Amino acid sequence: MNKKRKHKDTLITTTQSFIVTCYNHSECNHFLKQARTYYHDIEQQVIEEENINKKTHYVFYHSQNTSNLLLQDVLDMLFSAPIANNFHYVRNPNKEKYKTYENVQHFLNANENIFRQSHSIPDLTSDVGDHLIAANVSLYSNYDAEGESSFHYFVFNRSVRNQTRKELISVCEEFGLDFCAKHVDEYLNWLFEQKEGLLLQIFIPKEFVNDITYVSQPGGIPIPSNIKTLEYIESYIQDIKDMNRLSDLSQIRILITKDILLNPNNNIKINRYTTIPNKKYNEYKNKLFNHLTWSWINKI
Per-residue model confidence (pLDDT) at position 233: 95
Q: Report percent pLDDT > 90 for the chain.
A: 78
Q: What integer is the mean pLDDT of 225-233?
A: 93
Helix axes 179-192, 278-299, angle to 10 degrees: 170
* 247 pLDDT higher than 80: no
Which amino acid belongs to residue 86?
N
Neighbours of 109 (CB within 10 A): 9
Q: Output the pLDDT for position 3.
A: 45
Distance CA 184, CA 271 (A): 24
Euclidean distance between CA atoms 51 and 41, whole angstroms: 16
pLDDT reported for residue 298? 86
- Is the CB of residue 146 less than 8 Å from the CB of residue 218? no
Phi-psi region at 168: left, alpha or beta (left = phi > 0; alpha = psi -120 to 50): alpha
Where residue 211 falls among pLDDT bands split at 50, 70, 90?
very high
Residue 24 in this model has a pLDDT that exceeds 80 = yes
- Across the range 86-114, mean pLDDT stands at 94
User: What is the per-residue pLDDT for 17?
Assistant: 93
Q: How far apart are CA 134 and CA 36, in angstroms?
A: 24
Q: Whole-structure pTM over 0.75, yes or no?
A: yes
Q: What's the rounded mean pLDDT across residues 35-42?
A: 96
Query: What integer is the mean pLDDT of 170-186?
Result: 95
**Res 4 pLDDT > 90:** no
**What DSSP designation does 91 have?**
S
Burial group, residue 175, by CB count within 10 angstroms (0-12, 13-18, 19+): middle
pLDDT tens per residue across span 269-297: 999 999 999 999 999 999 999 999 999 99
Give the pLDDT band (50/70/90) at residue 1: very low
DSSP E strand boundaries for the chain: 57-64, 132-135, 198-205, 213-216, 251-255, 269-273
Cβ(151)–Cβ(36) below 8 Å: no
Residue range 129-144, pLDDT digits in tens: 999 999 999 999 999 9
Whether 73 shows a pLDDT value over 60: the answer reads yes
Domain ranges of the chain: 14-299
pLDDT recorded at residue 7 = 52
Cα 201 → chain centroid? 6
d(CA 20, CA 6): 26
At 10, is the pLDDT very low, low, confident or very high (cuts 50, 70, 90)? Answer: low
Report which residue type is found at 108: L
**Are 105 and 99 spatial neighbours (Cβ–Cβ below 8 Å)?**
no
- Give the pLDDT band of residue 117 (cuts 50, 70, 90): confident
Distance CA 180, CA 238 (A): 48
What band does 239 get if pLDDT is binned at 50, 70 and 90?
confident
Q: What percent of the chain has pLDDT over 70?
A: 96
